[in-house]
Amino acid sequence: MSHQASVERFAAGGTALAGAIKGLSREDLLAFPVPGTWSIQQIVVHTLDSDLVASHRMKRIIAEERPLLIAYDETAFARSLHYEAEDLTVACELFRLNRVQMAGILRRLPDSAFERVAIHNQNGKMTLGGVVEGYVAHLEHHLRFVREKRALLGKPLAG
């Protein structure tokens, strides 16, 4: 897939979280239809937090020479940052706006910029293009879980 196609897929995902939770009650969002896994609420806030981290990483790869990227503990985030108390209207809008802003930056770059490299402390060498593609896949991964949980709650997405 071309870099610009990846950028457009990244941008198009901006409204996906809001669409994925449409019509769900607070009780639905906080339910655990699969015991031992995250609620839909936790998935949405994690996806936002992850995208904010991704944007920071992408900006560093664009602006710095071979930056060191540090992993974070997503489970500790979910446990310690009170994901259950977040306003998902705000979270979904922040997710959308972050993707709009980051996609604008990515669209202005020459193709060569997508080969710029960073070093991740756990995953090793990463390119800007790989990070963009990785976060397109990350969103798809979590949307699949939201769809599965909705179905288990008896509220599948229409269409």
Q: Walk me through the domains of the chain, giving residue ranges and CATH numbers.
A: 3-152 (1.20.120.450)
Per-residue pLDDT of the chain (159 residues; tens, 9 = 90+): 688 899 999 999 999 999 999 999 999 999 999 999 999 999 999 999 999 999 999 999 999 999 999 999 999 999 999 999 999 999 999 999 999 999 999 999 999 999 999 999 999 999 999 999 999 999 999 999 999 999 999 999 876
**28, 116 contact by CB (below 8 A):** no
Buried-state track 99-133, b at ≥16 Cβ within 10 A, e below 16: beebbeebeebeeebbebebeeeeeeebbbbbbbb
Q: Which parts of the chain fold into alpha helices (H)? A: 3-12, 16-21, 26-30, 40-63, 74-80, 88-107, 128-152
Compute φ and ψ for 119, nearest 5 degrees: -115, 120
pTM: predicted TM-score of the whole model, two decimal places: 0.95
Q: What's residue 1's pLDDT?
A: 66
Q: Which are the contacts of 129, defined by CB distance < 8 A and separation ≥ 6?
A: 3, 6, 114, 115
Q: In whole angstroms, how far apart are CA 69 and each of 57, 58, 98, 102, 133?
A: 7, 10, 19, 18, 17
d(CA 92, CA 99): 11
Four-point Cα dihedral 24, 142, 13, 88, nearest 10: 40
Q: Closest by alpha carbon to 99, among 7, 22, 5?
A: 7
Tokens 């996609």 identify what position? Answer: 103
